[in-house]
Amino acid sequence: MSPATSPSGEPVVELTAVRKEYPGGVAALAGVDLTVRRGEMTAIVGPSGSGKSTLLHIVGTLDRPSSGSVRIAGHEVADLRDRELSALRAQSLGFVFQSFHLAPGVSALDNVADGLLYSGRPLRTRRREAAEVLERVGLADRMAHRPHELSGGQKQRAAIARAIAGDPVLLLADEPTGALDTASGDAVMALLHDLNAGGTTIAVITHDHEIAATLPRRVRLRDGLIVSDTARAAA
């Protein structure tokens, strides 16, 4: 089987009975069980208010659950101090957002190289590695360009390059085509599929059912609960 369809990889994400409650008794997540294995490409899909963003924050270790167990890359998040959690996030997770989050006035090369600051490697090494990953995403001829000199699709490719430069265990893409026209969005999704075919584990958070339909696994959320999961259906 290809990495996109293999169910036998080791768990990268393990959520057990995860709840996230906010003041007033609002439960954004109401008891979620979810396992994502290495090599999978999964859509987390649902309407606004379904819990997608909260799930992203929990899986991305940007927030902690009110109750339940969260294991990321084999680490129990509840057992980690803030410094350890930051290290796990930096070393194991890559993030791609709808609004790119590229530093203005900084070349694509240095935007990606700056994403490797946590590694402690010298600037020359980081720039060499950034150049390699920019070439991998099709931006070999745009490395010196600043964000305002790039198209929307090129900005997202640069953001993806930055996210995968450290070879993360999991790439989290939050509405990665939301700010793009159809052609650019299709190109970005094709790139994500190519990365997954090369072994990158990817979770795409989206409300777009057409995008979700192109992914091998689809997990649907509603009212803070998983209401369907094609992996479970297949099992």
* Residue 191, domain CATH: 3.40.50.300
Confirm if 143 and 107 have CB atoms less than 8 A apart.
yes
Domain membership flag for residue 84: yes
Domain membership flag for residue 4: no
Domain membership flag for residue 3: no
Split into its structural domains, the chain has a count of: 1
Ramachandran region, residue 39 (left: φ > 0; alpha: ψ -120 to 50; beta: rest): left
**75-76/26-37 β-pairing:** unpaired
Provide the residue type at 31 as one letter. Answer: G
Range of the domain at 16: 11-234
The predicted structure's pLDDT at residue 1: 33
**Strand partners of residue 221:** 226
Q: What does the pLDDT look like over 101-157, one tens digit per residue?
A: 999 999 999 999 998 887 778 999 999 999 999 999 999 999 999 999 999 999 999
129 vs 119: CA distance, rounded Å: 12
